[in-house]
Amino acid sequence: MTDRLIVVGQITLPAPAADRIRTAAPGFRLVVAPEPDETLIATAEVYAGHLEPDDIARAGRLRWNHLWTAGADADLSEEMRAADAVVLTSSAGNGAIPLAEHALLLMLMLDRDVPRWLAAQRARTWDRYPHRELAGQTVGIVGMGAAGRDLAEKCHAFHMRVVGLRGRPTIPAAGVERMYGPEQITQFAAECDYLVVAAPLTPTTRGMIDQRVFAAMRPTATIINISRGEIVDDEAMLAAVREHRIAGAGLDAHRVEPLPADSPWWTEPGVIVTPHNGATTPQTVARAVDVFVDNVERYAQRRPLVNVVDKQSGYAFG
């Protein structure tokens, strides 16, 4: 029996996917262990799932760690950054479609004040009122990874004007009229009717949506966060909403999760809260498995892996 071990942790791997892995990597032994023990981690050459710093220290044979998540921020411990022999890959792109849909959902709910309709329905009240439409408005997307690019195309289909902001602004994206760099963030924010945060959490993006950004936004503008709460300065955002310097917020990502019961966001007017639920679909999981299975075949054949995380920048380029 081969001593080259692939351990799949933290998910229940569908039988067809397991068969695909065995076919793609016949020289490896596959173990599916939703709760792997220390021995499995210590002997795995390939491990799919989150590893704690202590796990990395004992994983002497580990050469490749795959994440079921698109973001790698929770996995880039000092131990992982220092593990030069270990390649880290993510499932970046697996949740792009539902995240883009969720951003549009929040935009539509806020643009048409859907909570007012829901309140009227509960009260059995016929409440007709003028509302806006997304067509013709400008959406600014922070982060042009898979979710940002998918959202740009969807917004373009809604007849919106789309601008983007990314670390490498010379790279275009379909449907995006103009691309800004991080140093132009206030100029970018001033253009937005909707500012959507879709960037990964990295040392560069942490806290980038700050008081300066909210000061540059229009009083009719709204912020949407479908990525990570730590990218946005919570205090600055709350002040901007309460002082009517922006119109509102749609928040699927929060600085503290689960959102505490005493958080002001639950009851703040003009704010819609969802529980980091935008990409919780069976298709998101299936796409993550597809990324991993494809990479297993690449790994077995000694071909370059996809979605390799740059441990310094904190995300997979794509």
Active site members: 228, 257, 276
Cis peptide before 275 (omega within 30 of 0): no
Q: What is the CA radius of gyration of the chain?
A: 22
**At 67, is the secondary structure helix, strand, or coil?**
coil
Phi and psi at residue 53, to the nearest 5° = -55, -40
Distance CA 243, CA 247 (A): 9
Cα torsion angle, 152, 69, 295, 291, sign: negative
Distance CA 310, CA 318 (A): 11
DSSP labels for 29-59? EEEEESS--HHHHHH-SEEES---HHHHHH-
Return the closest-CA partner of residue 183 out of 208, 206, 147: 208
Distance CA 273, CA 276 (A): 9
Return the closest-CA partner of residue 77 out of 55, 96, 52: 52
